[in-house]
Structure 1
Amino acid sequence: MKRIITAFASMAFAGLACVLSSTVASANVVARVDISSQRMNVSVDGWPRYSWAVSTARRGFNTPTGSYRPQRLYRSYFSKKYYNSPMPHSIFFRGGYAIHGTNYMGQLGRPASHGCIRLAPGNAATLYSLVQSYGKGNTRIVIAR
């Protein structure tokens, strides 16, 4: 009887592991940026997980709107266009536009960038980790005014 219970428990655990692994494989990360409120809301598998202040383009510059997939990821990156500025945990989504960490945390919550989407360094690291875990193909970046 003990062997039957142990075998049943093993099969149940294996079935649960299979269900969980298939759930992770099909998981989606969606980062929604609202330019008007200067906020990013991140959901995983349709469930809200994070809401963060961001900085998007200041006057005279543009943050592109639309729906994108991440193109390139860099844990450490320095802007070739803007004075070698650090862009930690960069997630490039359209050409030279990226979501990345910033040292200018006092500017979060208002337009301040040349077009990129700036996050607090810890939040940028969290998003970067989610994109790495779930994959670029399972991540969407949606930017709206």
Structure 2
Amino acid sequence: MRGNTAGRAGRWRRHLALQALLAVFLCLLTAPAFANILITVDKPTQTMTVLVNGELRYRWPVSTGATGYSTPAGNYTAFRMELMHYSDEWDGAGMPHSIFFTKRGHAIHGSNHPGMGTPRSHGCVRLSLQNAETLYRLVEQQGLSATKVVIAGPDPAGNWAASSAPPAVRTLSPGESRQRTGPFRGLFAPFKRR
């Protein structure tokens, strides 16, 4: 009699396991499909490329940080979007279609400033208003968490952002001050590779 109970319990466990697998399978079928978005900004060429699931969707001119206002090189995940952000750092300057990629306030956003294709920003990545809106809508549609941002290359002076350098590598030259400069009140400083 006891073996019969063990057989029923085993069948019951298999039945529950199959139901669980079926439930997972059905959830996967009905889950919305999100594309992977890779935004790459090449600072030396001042160009942004946007790949969706590995296929080139857009290539646009951008404006990254001017000398003294480096856009930090590195790999990021976009984490916040604002249809219209007003900068606390720069006298309430409007930043339409902002996609933030650093906790220090760096964002990709629209701008009507002239000079796309040349480094002129205070550290953000500027796009034309139309291209910023297109990118914002794409990220909004596909999902913020699926959006990766890669900032590559040195700034115009050949400097790399401190965040892209290995820690504790930089040494001060004789007479050099420890005071940091930059657009975010000392949160990062330009870093020149030697």
Aligned to 1:113: 121
Instruction: Describe how 1:48-67 pairs up with structure 2 within 5 A.
Output: 48-67=56-75
Structure 2 gaps, min length 5: 1-27, 154-194
Cα distance in 1 for partners of 2:33, 2:149 equals: 19
Shift of the alpha carbon at 1:85? Answer: 0.8
Aligned to 2:111: 102
After superposition, the CA RMSD in angstroms is 1.6
Verify: 1:124 aligned to 2:137, yes or no. Answer: no
Verify: 1:75 aligned to 2:83, yes or no. Answer: yes
Tell me the amino acid that sits aligned with residue 143 of structure 1.
I
Percent identity over the alignment is 45
Question: As a proportion of its length, which structure holds more helix?
Answer: 1
Aligned residue for 1:122, secondary structure, equals helix
Structure of larger gyration radius: 2
Shift of the alpha carbon at 1:77? Answer: 1.0
Shift of the alpha carbon at 1:27? Answer: 1.5
Could you state the TM-score of these two structures normalised by the residue count of structure 2? 0.61
Q: Deviations over 1:63-120 (max 9, x none)?
A: 011111111100011111101111000001002000000010x210000001000000
Shift of the alpha carbon at 1:26? Answer: 4.2
Q: Deviations over 1:32-58 (max 9, x none)?
A: 100000000001111101000000000
Cα distance in 1 for partners of 2:90, 2:81 equals: 19
Report if the CA contact (8 A) 2:34-2:143 is conserved. no
Structure 1 gaps, min length 5: 1-17
Aligned residue for 2:44, secondary structure, equals coil
Which has the bigger relative contact order, CA under 8 A and spacing at least 6? 1
Tell me the amino acid that sits aligned with residue 142 of structure 1.
V
Aligned to 1:139: 147
Report if the CA contact (8 A) 2:79-2:145 is conserved. no
Could you state the TM-score of these two structures normalised by the residue count of structure 1? 0.81
Cα distance in 1 for partners of 2:138, 2:44 equals: 25
Instruction: Count matched residues.
Output: 125
Aligned residue for 1:75, secondary structure, equals strand
Aligned residue for 1:130, secondary structure, equals helix
